[in-house]
Structure 1
């Protein structure tokens, strides 16, 4: 079965969503999952499509950027599909992971992207070391640790850790860390 997934970022892109759905139907998709979701918002239909697809099925998208937001996202989706025995077809790239060439291309694209990311991280580390040596880099100030006095005060007033975390917009584990450091010190 061909399972289609279409996504646009905003409600203003209705025509784009309709075009994707048209292309997916023309390809033979009998089940479509569509959504209007920005690149940072929660996507509900993608997990539904991944859950729906069964072994031997093929998930079809019009473009790669409609499916994933990053290489890590692509790798995660590909792992899910591979585990379920589901292929991926990207229409704009004429790429189908049901074929040996398609599998090779996805692996190459993923490997190249991972290589580029590693190079970027290496350059970033070098830049940070250079800035530190010049005394221009101090790093990010820990947000939760700056709130230690408020955490201790709220706890002394009887507030629970989850309430403190919620009101100060820090994690509950940060609250516990600050409180345990206060007890130890």
Structure 2
């Protein structure tokens, strides 16, 4: 029986250190982590690796339920996949385990709250953007990656993982840039 830790944050400039340290202190080994949105399971390669690796009797441990996902259906699907493999989920804050039915109920409620919280954040963001546009001060988001650098490295024969590592971003970001360039109309 293994205790497998999973840590996630949404932004590249956020730190996973506190989550990873907490998982280590709980005896988790291995610990997989990634910096990617929890809005869906798309692009969450480390979570996918954990779900492929986990075996009967193993335990997936996360610090908070929202680190597992921000979509109730995704979280419940993950719990279902763990059930299918004979594994279970433990959330540290607040302590919840899917070993018992009451833990499943609490996890469902927390997943719904997390999803609602995400909708509120997005709504406030949209309202802020609309207000800034009305004042004429909105210029759009700033690009965090040098798109030309990504495309140049790709053209030079570098693989997606190598580009992501060199630029300090996720492979999914590299895939998006390469994919958007491939779909751009030629002039």
Contact 2:59 2:87 survives alignment (8 Å): yes
Q: For residue 64 of structure 1, report the CA deviation from its aligned partner.
A: 0.8
Cα-Cα RMSD:
2.7
Partner of 2:80: 79
Aligned-residue offset at 1:72: 1.0
More helix by share: 1
Report how many aligned residue pairs link the two structures. Answer: 115
Q: Does structure 1 residue 20 correspond to structure 2 residue 48?
A: no
The residue number in structure 2 matching 1:59 is: 60
- What is the TM-score when the length of structure 1 is the normalising length? 0.55
Query: Which structure exhibits the higher relative contact order, with contacts defined as CA atoms closer than 8 Å and separated by 6 or more residues?
Result: 2
Q: Which residue of 2 aligns with 1:88?
A: 89
Q: Based on CA coordinates, which of the two structures has the bigger radius of gyration?
A: 1
Could you list the runs of 5+ residues in structure 2 that have no partner in the other structure?
A: 117-182
Residues 73-112 of structure 1 deviation map (CA, whole Å, 9 limit, x = unaligned): 11211110110111100111110112343234335x28x9
User: Residues 36, 167 of structure 1: CA spacing in aligned structure 2 closer, same or farther, 3 A cutoff?
Assistant: closer
| 1:30 and 2:29 matched | yes
Residues 126-170 of structure 1: per-residue CA shift (max 9 Å, x gap):
xxxxxxxxxxxxxxxxxxxxxxxxxxxxxxxxxxxxxxxx789xx
1:13 aligns to what SS in structure 2?
coil
Give runs of aligned pairs for residues 18-167 of structure 1, distance below 5 A.
Answer: 18-40=17-39, 42-106=43-107, 109=109, 113=112
Q: Distance in 1 between matches of 2:9 and 2:28?
A: 18
TM-score (norm 2): 0.54
